[in-house]
Structure 1
Amino acid sequence: MGHFKQFAFKKFGYADFSPTIGNLFSQPDFSGFVKIAFVKAGVKAVIDFKEYQLLQDALFFINGGQYYQFDETSTGTILYYNRDFYCVALHDAEVACDGILFNNVYDIPVILMDEKTSAEMESIFKEIKTEWQEEESSMEEMLRILLKRIIIKSTRIWKKDHRVTTDEARQEVEFSRTFSQLVALHYSKHHTVAAYADLLHITPKALNKRITRYSDTTPNDIIKNRIILEAKRLLVHTSLSVKEIGYKLGYDDPSYFVRLFTNQADNSPQSFRMQYQRESGIENQESR
């Protein structure tokens, strides 16, 4: 069952996992919400075609427009909110609405928790549910404070897991976040490392050096992966033709787009679409 509140333009809600939660979030009205999913161990999750077998309790940070699927047997809670509800000032960039957990060039943000951390997080989720019952005038601010606690604690865990412990490392993470934001904004227009280097006022060589300092993934990989991810989304969640998808992603030559997709995905666009439909059934069960 979902619980939802609106404070002027600010929207916030939560829903406990149930067999029907996919139906709740499959509605178009939910597609633009940012979501934080607390999921207990022992189930499978799929976020944008990447599969996770959860051996530990986990937190997933899901941007608006990302597709996800959780097993029907999943237990836990999903929080969902719009940017008007939570988007902190620039001096708190790491934990902002577009912070490390929501714009990350290295991986889909997931926090795997030990027993102690999971209990601490679960306690905050319970506080949110308790606050829901109070109907106090300060409820909106208290919900925002509790949400920020989840994001701050999760950001600290992510930084520790990724050994972001020095000022230099923090600067590089912030740089990668900026690059990630640019790719998210311009992937259908800018397809080259040089284009993003120009936006960042550095050379392509310098951009490559900074992004690969903490990862084997190159800027070109990140750009192409984002383009192919959007192509996959459009292939399986829309009825657009391969040619139309290519145009939408900025490719005037359909054959070039097909070659690019095939090289990156090891499958042609049409074959990918047909394979996905066969594996998931004609009726798509993913929600967003």
Structure 2
Amino acid sequence: MKYTGKANEFLRLTDLNEDNKNLIFEVNESDLTIIWNTDSPLSIVIDNIEYQLLKNEMIFLTEFHKIDSINFQSARLVRFNRPFYCIIDHDTEVSCKGLLFFGASNVPIVSISDEEFEKFDVLWKMFRLEMTSKDNLQVDMLQIMLQRLLILSVRSYKNTIQFDKLDKSQLDIVREFNFLVESNFLKHHDVAYYASLLNKSPKTLSNLFSIVSKKTPLNIIHDRIMLDARKRILYTDKSIKEIAYDLGYEDIQTFSRFFKNKEGISPIEYRVKFKNSK
């Protein structure tokens, strides 16, 4: 089921199975994707990394995630683009920027608890019914339902990753840091740059992240660079020198040392190993 507006804004709502699973791979610019596993464990490979989703777990992806493969029994797909609903413009309403989407190196997986399942399931059924409406209020209703889905997901996600230890202002700093890294990691690799944008010291950021994660702010920056580096090495024909330059490194030696320190093998070895395996 798909709603399409006059300005190419769209919302897709689909019960997935073997016959229509190719819809998962049809990702365009500014698309955001939610996949909700509704049966036995789902396996999905994103940017050459495999993730397992148990029943009633949801994964949140942006246009920048490349889905390599997926195996499942049944699942639900929600996909929408920025013209339909911009999560950045509506961040004060749903608070999912830098958390569910554009979270730097993190691929969020939300577990729907037994207590919350009915809320999600009823919303899905209402969502499907509204997709069949044809009056001039349909788009407003669909946006409200999408907004509610995002809010429910944010609540569930916060309960699973110790974000309840942060007050709202602290959580907003974490989210904004993640979003800024996602937007600027190609040029800026140092924590001090992001701390200055947030009017905080690097030490303050480190202390804040230590409350909710084993990753430091620098780890998050490096992980995001590595995510993009692997993708460029595997899915483009660019030379390692060109990739290093694209990622903000002035020379190939510095990039190669960084990559090998993180991955255990050089960029060239990584390309040969995984391209041959594919």
Do Structure 1 and Structure 2 share a fold, with TM-score over 0.5?
A: yes
Partner of 1:131: 130
Partner of 1:206: 204
Kindly state the Cα deviation for residue 154 of structure 1 after the two structures are TM-superposed: 0.9
Q: Is 1:77 aligned to residue 76 of structure 2?
A: yes
Query: Where does 1:105-254 land on structure 2 (aligned, <5 Å)?
Result: 107-165=106-164, 168-254=166-252
Kindly state the Cα deviation for residue 11 of structure 1 after the two structures are TM-superposed: 2.1
Paired residues of 1:86 and 1:144 also in contact (CA < 8 A):
yes
Distance 1:270 1:153, change over 3 A: same
Q: Which amino acid aligns with 1:254?
A: I
Select between 52-61 and 106-115 the one with higher mean Cα deviation.
106-115
Kindly state the Cα deviation for residue 112 of structure 1 after the two structures are TM-superposed: 1.5
Partner of 1:30: 28
Partner of 1:98: 97
Distance 1:150 1:233, change over 3 A: same
Partner of 1:261: 259
Paired residues of 1:105 and 1:176 also in contact (CA < 8 A):
no
Aligned-pair identity in percent equals 29
Paired residues of 1:56 and 1:114 also in contact (CA < 8 A):
no
Partner of 2:7: 8
Distance 1:99 1:251, change over 3 A: closer
Partner of 1:284: none
Q: Which amino acid aligns with 2:78?
A: L
Distance 1:181 1:71, change over 3 A: closer
Kindly state the Cα deviation for residue 132 of structure 1 after the two structures are TM-superposed: 1.7
Instruction: Tell me, in whole angstroms, the C-alpha distance in 2 between the residues paired with 1:89 and 1:200.
Output: 17
Kindly state the Cα deviation for residue 3 of structure 1 after the two structures are TM-superposed: 3.0
Instruction: Tell me, in whole angstroms, the C-alpha distance in 2 between the residues paired with 1:129 and 1:63.
Output: 23
Instruction: Tell me, in whole angstroms, the C-alpha distance in 2 between the residues paired with 1:77 and 1:70.
Output: 16
Select between 200-209 and 248-257 the one with higher mean Cα deviation.
200-209
With the length of structure 1 as denominator, give the TM-score of the two structures: 0.85
Paired residues of 2:96 and 2:154 also in contact (CA < 8 A):
no
For residues 206-250 of structure 1, what are the alpha-carbon distances to aligned partners after superposition, in whole Å with 9 as ceiling and x for unaligned?
A: 222222222111111111111111111112222222111111111
Kindly state the Cα deviation for residue 204 of structure 1 after the two structures are TM-superposed: 2.2
Show structure 1 runs of 4+ deviating over 6 A. Answer: none
Q: Which amino acid aligns with 2:56?
A: D
Q: Which amino acid aligns with 1:225?
A: D
Instruction: For residue 76 of structure 2, give the secondary structure of its aligned residue in structure 1.
Output: strand
Select between 123-132 and 151-160 the one with higher mean Cα deviation.
123-132
Kindly state the Cα deviation for residue 85 of structure 1 after the two structures are TM-superposed: 1.4
Q: Is 1:65 aligned to residue 64 of structure 2?
A: yes
Q: Which amino acid aligns with 1:83?
A: R
Instruction: Tell me, in whole angstroms, the C-alpha distance in 2 between the residues paired with 1:22 and 1:258.
Output: 37
Distance 1:261 1:92, change over 3 A: closer
Instruction: Tell me, in whole angstroms, the C-alpha distance in 1 between the residues paired with 2:4 and 2:186.
Output: 35
Kindly state the Cα deviation for residue 44 of structure 1 after the two structures are TM-superposed: 1.2
Query: Could you list the runs of 5+ residues in structure 2 that have no partner in the other structure?
Result: none
With the length of structure 2 as denominator, give the TM-score of the two structures: 0.87
Instruction: Tell me, in whole angstroms, the C-alpha distance in 2 between the residues paired with 1:57 and 1:74.
Output: 12
Distance 1:129 1:264, change over 3 A: same
For residues 159-198 of structure 1, what are the alpha-carbon distances to aligned partners after superposition, in whole Å with 9 as ceiling and x for unaligned?
A: 22234346x4332221111111111111111111222222
